[in-house]
Amino acid sequence: RAEELASLGDPDVVPTLLNEHAVVLTNTGQADMYWADPRFGGDVPSVDRSYLAGRLGTSWAPTVIDLTPEGAGIEGSIRLDPASLATEMGRLSGHREVIVVGAPVLAAQAAGFLARLGINARWVA
């Protein structure tokens, strides 16, 4: 088994950490974005895709933040690299509801981070 694992080599894709850019800037003294630490988010509810589909195209459509590497293909969504969520917060001001789309753990963590900052956020995988 050890030989099999060794033959796999290193993965080509290293997962991006939520708010990585803001955390690095803070840790190196280039910015003071302590609030971007993703460990201090809250638990927020998820919604299913039918909820999202039913609201898109209506006057109550949420803002959709797409954290998927390949893009979820949701028209009008804002595609963000998870590492830059905190540094792109200005794009989310004034939105009633934000739904984060992505891998379940990442989407839940991102929605919790946004909720801690006062944004009405939920997530869908």
Using pLDDT thresholds of 50, 70 and 90, give the confidence band for residue 118: confident
Tokens at 112, concatenated:
């919790």
pLDDT at 66 over 70: yes
User: Residue range 51-59: average pLDDT?
Assistant: 88
CA gap 76, 66 in Å, rounded: 10
Radius of gyration in angstroms for the set of CA atoms belonging to the chain, rounded to a whole number: 16
Q: What are phi and psi of 42, to 5 degrees?
A: -110, 170
Q: Report whether pLDDT(99) > 90.
A: yes
Q: What does the pLDDT read at residue 5?
A: 44
Q: What is the pLDDT of residue 10?
A: 52
* Tokens 């963000």, located at residue: 80
pTM score above 0.85: no
Tokens of 92: 């989310």
3-state secondary structure of 78: strand
Q: Which of 65, 79, 74, 72 is nearest to 110 (CA)?
A: 65
SS3 content of the chain, % helix, strand, coil (to 5): 40, 10, 45
Span 13-19, average pLDDT: 69
Using pLDDT thresholds of 50, 70 and 90, give the confidence band for residue 89. confident
